[in-house]
């Protein structure tokens, strides 16, 4: 966190000397408060939040961000069927049947394009163009589970394992908060070495020194530890249910894991007062469109604060055509979720970046997603956290540089927003 907003350009000054700015694509001018950033000139590009100028940025960066967020306010006229229009209307009213979801997952051409546009409009009407930026620190790749799809599975003996020491984790967190991150996910395999005492100490130290939301992504660890860690100051949990089909879940997860236990975790985590981030994998072997539609409905029923979905990446190289199909299916899933969960945070998964590093993010934002997840794991460990091959990573981009407002106000805004969303 925090948020990236659309840059505005200075067009003049009002009678009290405040800059008058214009948003791209509009003709309205509005005055902004420049008390934090003096020395503003005509044609400068600014980042503002709630009418307050936070930063001046170079024109080329402004244009890159605008290009990223570019949108059309008007849904272009397209040829769509009566059935499609009716289904979209139902989606807007917040309820779709399983068959209707399957129908939308099967759309093609101009109907698929309209689905994305409707989702984008829904995002803009409900949460505007705030794109939230979160960070993830992967502190251990040890895992006692054997999920067939995952590179960290216990049986994968070729993987070099690492554990970050308490001090290293805390250092990585403070490095991130100094940059302006306000929401960080601490993630690991299911690693019992980090017990409630150790994790509790880490969280308490972080919370005593920095104003940052900590989300944990540490797997199915039982009620007790989660209760303790809530008291230590953790705010949220990221735990995907992966698939809503009990049979498929069993097949993909060994060692007596079942869907029931996963869903029970999600339920008690909610009653403990955690913010919940959950979701599933798109394109798992054995996943039918019926199952995928149920995944969407299960997510809606769980009413999480954040939805985490991503394409399943097999260990072998995906052919271009398959990659494209997987991308389209994931974008449709994001759009349907956006139509149904209007204000929920939908981050773009690293797996989606991985299957199309060039355009994945842009397409997902235009299909209704609204958050980015940056990997902040120290470099020496990064490649060892190999959930799947060739994981996307980008050293630095304008999103991170300009999306992270160091102001305390952005933490308050996030807090307000999270409260409102529950």
Nearest approach, Cβ of residue 1 and ligand 5AD (Å): 20
Which tokens in the block code for residue 28? Answer: 């309205």
310 binds ligand 5AD (CB under 6 A): yes
Nearest approach, Cβ of residue 315 and ligand 5AD (Å): 7
Whose Cβ is closer to ligand 5AD: residue 311's or residue 403's? 311
- Residue from 44, 118, 242, 305 that binds ligand 5AD (CB under 6 A)? 242
Distance, in Å, from the CA atom of 50 to the CA atom of 268, rounded to the nearest integer, reads 36
* Interface map 276-295 toward ligand 5AD (x if CB under 6 A): -----x--------------
387 binds ligand 5AD (CB under 6 A): yes
Whose Cβ is closer to ligand 5AD: residue 213's or residue 385's? 385
Where in 246-265 is the site for ligand 5AD (CB under 6 A)?
Answer: none
What is the DSSP code (8-state) at residue 289?
H
Whose Cβ is closer to ligand 5AD: residue 84's or residue 226's? 226
- Segment near ligand 5AD (CB under 6 A); pick from 49-57, 205-213, 307-315, 412-420: 307-315
Whose Cβ is closer to ligand 5AD: residue 7's or residue 219's? 219
DSSP one-letter string for 214-268 = EEEE-----HHHHHHHHHHT--EEE---B-S-HHHHHHHB-TT--HHHHHHHHHH
Whose Cβ is closer to ligand 5AD: residue 105's or residue 239's? 239
What residue ranges in 236-376 does DSSP mark as E strands?
236-238, 275-278, 281-282, 306-307, 310-311, 347-348, 371-375
Distance, in Å, from the CA atom of 47 to the CA atom of 142, rounded to the nearest integer, reads 41
Residues 6+ apart with CB under 8 A from 127: 343, 370
Where in 345-364 is the site for ligand 5AD (CB under 6 A)?
Answer: 351
305 binds ligand 5AD (CB under 6 A): no
338 binds ligand 5AD (CB under 6 A): no
313 binds ligand 5AD (CB under 6 A): yes
- Residue from 134, 182, 240, 262 that binds ligand 5AD (CB under 6 A)? 240
Which tokens in the block code for residue 60? Answer: 């080329």
Nearest approach, Cβ of residue 283 and ligand 5AD (Å): 9
Whose Cβ is closer to ligand 5AD: residue 127's or residue 284's? 284
Nearest approach, Cβ of residue 376 and ligand 5AD (Å): 15
Three-class SS state of 376: coil
Distance, in Å, from the CA atom of 290 to the CA atom of 288, rounded to the nearest integer, reads 5
Which tokens in the block code for residue 325? Answer: 């199909």
- Segment near ligand 5AD (CB under 6 A); pick from 164-172, 308-316, 358-366, 396-404: 308-316
- Segment near ligand 5AD (CB under 6 A); pick from 2-10, 35-43, 309-317, 370-378: 309-317
Which tokens in the block code for residue 262? Answer: 């996963």
Q: Calculate the alpha carbon distances from 19 to 5, 300, 349, 353 in Å.
A: 18, 43, 38, 37
- Residue from 388, 399, 405, 411 that binds ligand 5AD (CB under 6 A)? 388
- Segment near ligand 5AD (CB under 6 A); pick from 105-113, 117-125, 287-295, 306-314: 306-314
With residue 332 as reference, give the H or E element that holds it.
Answer: helix 320-340
Whose Cβ is closer to ligand 5AD: residue 72's or residue 315's? 315
Nearest approach, Cβ of residue 343 and ligand 5AD (Å): 23
120 binds ligand 5AD (CB under 6 A): no
- Residue from 47, 150, 229, 340 that binds ligand 5AD (CB under 6 A)? 150
Nearest approach, Cβ of residue 150 and ligand 5AD (Å): 4
Residues 6+ apart with CB under 8 A from 226: 237, 265, 268, 269, 272, 274
CA angle 252, 253, 254 (to 5 degrees): 120
Whose Cβ is closer to ligand 5AD: residue 177's or residue 217's? 217
Distance, in Å, from the CA atom of 349 to the CA atom of 308, rounded to the nearest integer, reads 7
Residues 6+ apart with CB under 8 A from 383: none
Q: Up-side HSE of residue 112: CA atoms within 13 Å toward CB? A: 16
Strand partners, 140: 163, 188
Q: Which residues bind ligand 5AD (CB under 6 A)?
A: 149-150, 240, 242, 281, 310, 312-313, 351, 387-388
């Amino acid at each position: 966190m925090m948020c990236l907003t659309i840059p505005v350009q200075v067009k003049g000054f009002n009678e009290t000397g405040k800059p008058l700015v214009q948003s791209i694509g509009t003709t309205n001018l509005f005055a902004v408060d420049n008390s934090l950033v003096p020395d503003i000139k005509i044609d400068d590009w600014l980042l503002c939040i709630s009418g307050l100028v936070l930063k001046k940025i170079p024109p080329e960066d402004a244009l890159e961000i605008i290009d990223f967020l570019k949108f059309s306010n008007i849904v272009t006229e397209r040829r769509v069927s009566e059935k499609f229009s009716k289904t979209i209307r139902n989606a807007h009213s917040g309820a779709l049947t399983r068959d209707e979801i399957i129908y939308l997952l099967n759309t093609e051409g101009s109907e698929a394009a309209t689905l994305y546009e409707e989702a984008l409009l829904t995002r803009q009407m409900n949460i505007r163009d705030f794109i939230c930026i979160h960070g993830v620190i992967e502190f251990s790749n040890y895992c006692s589970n054997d999920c067939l799809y995952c590179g960290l599975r216990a049986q994968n003996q070729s993987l070099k394992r690492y554990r970050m020491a308490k001090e290293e984790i805390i250092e990585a967190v403070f490095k991130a908060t100094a940059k302006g991150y306000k929401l960080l996910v601490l993630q690991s395999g299911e690693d019992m070495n980090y017990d409630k005492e150790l994790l509790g100490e880490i969280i308490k130290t972080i919370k005593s020194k920095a104003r940052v939301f900590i989300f944990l992504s540490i797997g199915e660890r039982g009620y007790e530890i989660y209760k303790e860690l809530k008291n230590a100051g953790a705010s949220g949990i990221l735990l995907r249910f992966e698939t809503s089909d009990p049979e498929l879940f069993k097949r993909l997860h060994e060692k007596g894991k079942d869907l029931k236990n996963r869903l029970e975790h999600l339920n008690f985590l909610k009653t403990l007062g955690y913010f919940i981030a959950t979701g599933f994998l798109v394109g798992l072997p054995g996943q039918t469109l019926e199952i995928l539609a149920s995944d969407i409905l299960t997510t809606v029923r769980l009413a999480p604060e954040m939805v985490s979905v991503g394409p399943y990446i097999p260990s072998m190289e995906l052919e271009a055509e398959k990659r494209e199909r997987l991308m389209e299916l994931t974008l449709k899933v994001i759009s349907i979720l956006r139509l149904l969960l209007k204000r929920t945070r939908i981050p773009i998964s690293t797996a989606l970046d991985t299957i199309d590093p060039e355009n994945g993010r842009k397409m997902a934002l235009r299909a209704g997603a609204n958050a980015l997840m940056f990997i902040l794991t120290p470099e020496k460990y990064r490649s060892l956290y190999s959930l799947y091959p060739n994981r996307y990573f980008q050293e630095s981009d304008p999103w991170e540089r300009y999306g992270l407002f160091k102001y305390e106000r952005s933490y308050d805004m996030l807090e307000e927003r999270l409260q409102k969303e529950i």
